[in-house]
Amino acid sequence: MFTIGDFARYGRVSARMLRHYDAIGLLRPDRTDPVTGYRFYGAAQLARLNRIIALKDLGFTLQQVRAILDEQVGPEELRGMLRLRRAELEEAMAAAAARLAQVEARLRSIESEGHMSADDVVVKNVAAVRVAELTGTAVGFEPEDITPVIGPLYDRLFPLLGTVGVSPSGPGIAHYEDAPEGGGAVVVHAGVTVSAPLGPLGDTGITVVELPPFEAATAVHRGSMDGVLPTAQALAHWIDANGYRSAGYAREVSLECPEDQEKWVTELQEPVARA
């Protein structure tokens, strides 16, 4: 018989862990002294302890380990659990590979430019959002094409919302899509977050729509949107260098919009997919 300390040493676990296994019924001691409460383990129990450690190393929870060892899980179910664990590990490896690619891209950027870029890009899941919007058409997607269209749309949007008693509940969100007529034309959607019902808002020309969730590579632009091109180009370069591809036009989320446009803060949210 082994004391709990000796058994822990042979099994390469802590005595505290053995007490926990005892408490949850995963590995009971062979004998417990009724007077002192000391636990004693048999040599044959090392085999069960080794199986516990091996299954834990595969990523199973202690509850799953107990079910497997006590034969509460059949062969088919165990195969299913192992396939699921394999898929989880593959997903974790893909995520680690993506982070490694980001580190390598950042290193290349520092080595080529001699300093760390101040334009950090973050990939995140953007939730669905409801916006009230007006739309127009621009001849192209260059800032000089978009500004003359989107500015007047926003100038009209907020007064019109006031006429129907709808107040913004979040930031302004501009989004874009290719115009049906083609030729490089772009449909401009000038919107703002609201909690109003979906559909037209009276005869204002405003429509409340639900923008779907998506995975986005995001960057923060500071200053007037007339000067957004360098930030957009840096974002595009990051997407290409980190194993992604663009899946559409970037949304523009207005985080701060003081009178001085040079103090504006706008988040670019470009939809992406793995290349």
Q: What is the pLDDT of residues 233-266, one digit of tens each?
A: 889 988 988 889 999 999 999 999 998 988 999 9
- 123-133: average pLDDT: 96
**Angle separating helix axes 15-23 and 4-11, nearest 10 degrees:** 100
Amino acid, res. 104? E
Give the rounded percent of residues in the chain with a pLDDT score beyond 90.
55
Residue 273: the pLDDT is 94
- 104-123: average pLDDT: 64
Residue 116: the pLDDT is 42
E strand or H helix at 125: strand 122-126
pLDDT higher than threshold 50 for residue 228: yes
* C-alpha neighbours within 13 Å on the C-beta side of residue 12: 6
pLDDT higher than threshold 70 for residue 113: no
Output 98 or 88, whichever has higher pLDDT. 88
* Distance in angstroms (rounded) separating the CA atoms of residues 213 and 128: 4
Would you say 39 and 4 are in contact if contact means Cβ atoms under 8 Å apart? yes
Residue 115: the pLDDT is 45
Residue whose entry in the numeric block shows the structure tokens 């997407």: 239
Query: What does the block give as tokens for 262?
Result: 């040079």
Phi, psi of 255 (to 5 degrees): -85, -40
Amino acid, res. 122? V
Residue 14: the pLDDT is 93
* Distance in angstroms (rounded) separating the CA atoms of residues 273 and 191: 25
Select from 264, 257, 226, 220 the least CA-distant residue to 238.
Answer: 220
> What pairing do the DSSP bridges indicate for beta strands 251-256 and 244-246?
unpaired
- 74-98: average pLDDT: 85
pLDDT higher than threshold 50 for residue 172: yes
Would you say 48 and 69 are in contact if contact means Cβ atoms under 8 Å apart? yes
Query: What mean pLDDT value characterizes the chain?
Result: 89
* pTM listed for this prediction: 0.59
- Using pLDDT thresholds of 50, 70 and 90, give the confidence band for residue 111: low
Residue 230: the pLDDT is 85
